[in-house]
Amino acid sequence: MYAILQTGGKQYVASPGEVIRVESLVGEPGDKVEFDQIVTVSQDDGSVLSGSAIEGAKVTGVIDRQGRAKKIIVFKFKKRKMYRNRRGHRQNFTTVKIENITV
């Protein structure tokens, strides 16, 4: 069984027992989190549910850790204009351990 959930403007595939890395969520490690924006649910018998068939579906999990991703360098350059701009960025993230999917 798996579900496609939407959070932080992105979609993630989640199945029970799996750890997923999503955009930063409010909470401390050990807090329960509930995702209610579900796009699709695939059940064990192979049937796929979406649309009005999954209204009220939820994916629950536990926040595993809060962290920051590896630094990326954003470099802008214009030749012959003496323009260079170098900037770094680290994105915040949250890892969530998926506990169950309810339809």
Give tens-digit pLDDT for 40-60. Answer: 999 888 888 888 878 889 999
Total domains in the fold of the chain: 1
Cα–Cα distance between 53 and 97 in angstroms, integer? 25
Least confident of 21-30, 48-57, 73-82: 48-57
Q: Give the pLDDT score at 56.
A: 87
Is residue 3 within 8 A of residue 41, CB to CB? The reply is: yes
Cα pseudo-dihedral 98, 36, 23, 3, rounded to 10: 50
Range of the domain at 41: 2-102
pLDDT at residue 84 in the model: 97
